[in-house]
């Protein structure tokens, strides 16, 4: 337990990667969009600017392994402590960013009338359906999922290095091509689209939970046998 806390501390000391950079990315995306929304004449402007934050979280999941795993192992940290500490840190940061996004969406929607310029940046239709708790959980699960998705790639690279990565990409390319061919042949695209649209954002985010758990398990199994 003690040494898991040390791993959290290890990450916390890198405030740039975990806090400042995502804030800068989100902030600059917001400012650019806000300035644009003031200049254009339309009544309202919808933007997917918060995706920039989510993409960064995905990237963070990938690079955090390369940045800290060899370092942590060299500093006498066990792999299980590294894994647990990193996951806890990711959960904390995901929760923090979900809370921030929710807070900003409230400010946007209820306090500033969309930043006085008709900008829909934080409060988006569909994504922000449901009550506050539902919105918070949706944002949280999406963020955690993206982090762990990146983390599983990072761990894969750590375990199987470049050649493994190449095989993974070739295999997934092949899998995707084959999958989409089968779907097209059976004319399932419409059904899939229907399935997605009949769910709320929250409903979809609940479907992420099995993937989150699977990715966590896979990362753990790979890191457990990773060497320097």
Q: Minimum Å distance from CB 6 to other proteins? A: 5
Q: Which is nearer to other proteins, 131 or 227 (CB)?
A: 227
- The token pair that represents 182 in the structure block: 């089968």
Q: Which is nearer to other proteins, 14 or 136 (CB)?
A: 14
**How many residues belong to the site for other proteins (CB under 8 A)?**
27
Q: Which is nearer to other proteins, 72 or 101 (CB)?
A: 72
Q: Minimum Å distance from CB 59 to other proteins? A: 14
Does 74 help bind other proteins (rule: CB under 8 A)? Answer: yes
Does 71 help bind other proteins (rule: CB under 8 A)? Answer: yes
Does 164 help bind other proteins (rule: CB under 8 A)? Answer: no
Distances in Å between the Cα of 221 and the Cα atoms of 59, 150, 180, 216 are 21, 15, 30, 9
Does 88 help bind other proteins (rule: CB under 8 A)? Answer: no
Q: Which residues are 120's β-sheet partners?
A: 46
Tally DSSP H helices, then E strands, for the chain: 8, 2
Q: Which is nearer to other proteins, 16 or 207 (CB)?
A: 16
Q: Minimum Å distance from CB 156 to other proteins? A: 19
Q: What is the DSSP letter of 46?
A: E
Closest CA to 202 of 129, 143, 98: 129
Q: Which is nearer to other proteins, 204 or 224 (CB)?
A: 224
- Residue located via tokens 């982090």: 147
Does 160 help bind other proteins (rule: CB under 8 A)? Answer: no
- Residue located via tokens 């779907």: 183
Does 3 help bind other proteins (rule: CB under 8 A)? Answer: yes
- Residue located via tokens 């690079």: 63
Q: Which is nearer to other proteins, 74 or 187 (CB)?
A: 74
Q: Which is nearer to other proteins, 16 or 189 (CB)?
A: 16
Q: Which residues are 45's β-sheet partners?
A: 119
Alpha-helix residue ranges (DSSP H) falling in 77-200: 79-106, 132-186, 189-198
Binders of other proteins among residues 4 to 63 (CB under 8 A) are 5-6, 9-10, 13-17
- The token pair that represents 156 in the structure block: 């894969």
Q: What is the DSSP letter of 124?
A: -
Does 94 help bind other proteins (rule: CB under 8 A)? Answer: no
Residue 84 contacts residue 7 (beta carbons within 8 Å) = yes
- Dist CA 90 CA 18 (whole Å): 9
Which spans of this chain sit near other proteins (rule: CB under 8 A)? Answer: 3, 5-6, 9-10, 13-17, 67-68, 70-71, 73-81, 224-225, 227-228
């Amino acid at each position: 337990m003690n040494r898991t806390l040390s791993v959290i501390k290890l990450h916390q000391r890198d405030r740039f990667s975990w806090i400042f950079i995502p804030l800068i990315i989100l902030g600059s995306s917001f400012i650019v969009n806000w300035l644009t929304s003031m200049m254009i004449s339309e009544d309202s402007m919808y933007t997917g600017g918060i995706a920039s934050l989510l993409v960064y979280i995905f990237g963070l999941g990938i690079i955090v392994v390369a940045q800290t795993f060899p370092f942590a192992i060299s500093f006498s940290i066990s792999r299980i402590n590294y894994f647990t500490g990193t996951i806890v840190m990711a959960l904390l940061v995901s929760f923090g960013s979900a809370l921030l996004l929710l807070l900003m969406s409230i400010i946007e929607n209820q306090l500033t009338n969309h930043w006085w310029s008709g900008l829909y940046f934080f409060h988006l239709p569909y994504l922000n359906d449901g009550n506050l708790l539902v919105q918070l959980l949706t944002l949280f699960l999406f963020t955690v999922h993206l982090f762990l998705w990146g983390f599983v790639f990072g761990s894969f690279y750590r375990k199987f290095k470049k050649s493994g990565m190449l095989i993974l990409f070739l295999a997934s390319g092949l899998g995707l091509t084959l999958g989409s061919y089968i779907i097209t042949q059976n004319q399932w695209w419409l059904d899939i689209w229907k399935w997605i649209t009949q769910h709320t954002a929250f409903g979809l985010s609940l479907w992420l939970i099995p993937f989150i758990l699977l990715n966590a398990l896979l990362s753990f199994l790979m890191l457990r046998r990773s060497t320097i």
